[in-house]
């Protein structure tokens, strides 16, 4: 599927927001709601995985900064990098920064439909994508991982969530609990087996381990992708499979 077809996958890609919409919080609903809960959850997850203020963090599909606000507040100024294909969601994120007094933290943003995060011109200590792969077909996930492989420091991890299927090419819909989200083989939201995720990662020159459940309220599972021989030095042996 060509990169310019991405807006056809999900209406999220075409959403736009006026200043009044932002004041009414419509951008928060557009990125899935649960603003406080999921924003804090992803922050706590990366802190537990060793995120330090001096680290450079890449947030793929940063949207309106549901998690980004926490990271921007914590990281040293200039160390947060967010990428999204919807420019008005990034504008909504900047509105959130204004409301929380974080405009002086010097975050960096990129609008891209093809995950060209090398345009930032830096290598990253950590990278994160929450509720991104759940909305993407496999070829777009592959494109993202190829681009990510170019910007990860040795030993760095790219953490990404997905809806897990029990086997590859799983044709039946899956109702995920908690959250009651139904995922599909060939339409948004998508599900994948870990074997499928691992295969795409290997094609991109990355290694993957399954972290699995991480208290996400909609049952999204977590994977770590890395260029290193040991893809997640902070993962326990029971997490790898």
Contact assessment for residue 143 and residue 115, using Cβ atoms and an 8 Å cutoff: yes
**pLDDT tens digits, one per residue of 126-176:** 999 999 999 999 999 999 999 999 999 999 999 999 999 999 999 999 999
Cα separation, 185 vs 163, in Å, equals 10
Res. 229: pLDDT tops 70: no
Domains along the sequence of the chain with CATH:
10-231 (3.40.50.150)
Distance in Å from the first CA to the final CA of the chain:
30
Instruction: Using CB atoms within 10 Å of the CB of residue 153, give its burial: 0 to 12 exposed, 13 to 18 middle, 19+ buried.
Output: middle
pLDDT the model gives residue 182: 97
When pLDDT is averaged across residues 107-125 and rounded to a whole number, the result is 97
Res. 71: pLDDT tops 70: yes
Res. 238: pLDDT tops 50: no
Using DSSP's 3-state secondary structure scheme, residue 225 falls into: strand
Res. 241: pLDDT tops 60: no
Cα separation, 92 vs 62, in Å, equals 11
Tokens of 70: 């926490």
**pLDDT tens digits, one per residue of 11-66:** 556 678 788 887 777 778 777 878 789 999 999 999 999 999 999 999 999 988 99
């Amino acid at each position: 599927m060509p990169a310019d077809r991405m807006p056809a996958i999900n209406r999220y890609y075409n959403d736009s927001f006026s200043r009044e919409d932002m004041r009414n919080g419509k951008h928060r609903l557009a990125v899935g709601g649960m603003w406080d809960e999921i924003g804090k959850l992803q922050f706590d997850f990366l802190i537990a995985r060793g995120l330090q203020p001096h680290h450079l963090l890449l947030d793929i599909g940063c949207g309106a900064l549901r998690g980004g606000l926490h990271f921007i507040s914590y990281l040293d100024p200039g160390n947060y990098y967010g990428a999204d294909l919807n420019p008005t969601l990034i504008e909504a994120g900047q509105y959130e920064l204004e409301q929380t007094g974080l405009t002086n933290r010097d975050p960096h943003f990129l609008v891209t439909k093809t995950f060209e995060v090398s345009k930032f011109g830096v290598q990253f200590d950590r990278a994160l994508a929450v509720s991104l792969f759940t909305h993407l077909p496999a070829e777009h996930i592959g494109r993202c991982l190829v681009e990510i492989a170019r910007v990860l420091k040795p030993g760095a991890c790219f953490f990404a969530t997905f809806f897990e299927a029990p086997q590859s090419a799983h044709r039946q819909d899956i109702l995920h609990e908690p959250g009651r989200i139904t995922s599909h083989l060939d339409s948004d939201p998508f599900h994948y087996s870990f074997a499928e995720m691992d295969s795409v990662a290997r094609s991109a020159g990355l290694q993957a381990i399954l972290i699995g459940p991480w208290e996400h309220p909609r049952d999204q599972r977590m994977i770590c992708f890395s260029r290193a021989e040991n893809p997640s030095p902070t993962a326990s042996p029971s997490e790898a499979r």
